[in-house]
Structure 1
């Protein structure tokens, strides 16, 4: 039986730091050796983390979701309301 000590986090080669309109995001795509689903997490320049609820069956699909979200919602998708006011007002 696996214990917490046996959990290994596996990071995708698609993890990256990205700049959008002069603002920086860290894209983390990872899974554990105990679960095949890839997690998509975006951390903005303020340290706020956005984690997508449903895991992805492939790391490439997680990256595609990041790109789709940026295209549809822009940088604001990864900012809290307070951070949006700070940047855009």
Structure 2
């Protein structure tokens, strides 16, 4: 691959830092210029990244999935077992 073949990453305007129960999550929604599917990635305060398996046809749908996950599972959806023990024990 040469410089002319570089893939451009396009970030959504919906990317944001979100505070939940005093903890910060960084929500990144992005796609490449060669694939129309939006990716939802959430990085917790420990630097652990959670990338959802499915792609979204619109960035707003990715954001809605983030909100749904937080509503159903809370902050712990984006924490490892070790991180959960550190925060909640």
TM-score, reference length from structure 2 = 0.95
Q: State the 4+ residue runs in structure 1 displaced beyond 4 angstroms.
A: none
State the distance in 1 between where 2:4 and 2:20 align.
37
Could you tell me which runs of 5 or more consecutive residues in structure 2 were left unpaired when the two chains were aligned. none
Alpha-carbon shift at residue 3 of structure 1 (Å): 7.4
1:48 aligns with 2:48: yes
- Alignment partner, residue 31 of structure 1: 31
State the distance in 2 between where 1:77 and 1:12 align.
22
TM-score, reference length from structure 1 = 0.95
Alpha-carbon shift at residue 5 of structure 1 (Å): 3.5
State the distance in 2 between where 1:3 and 1:27 align.
29
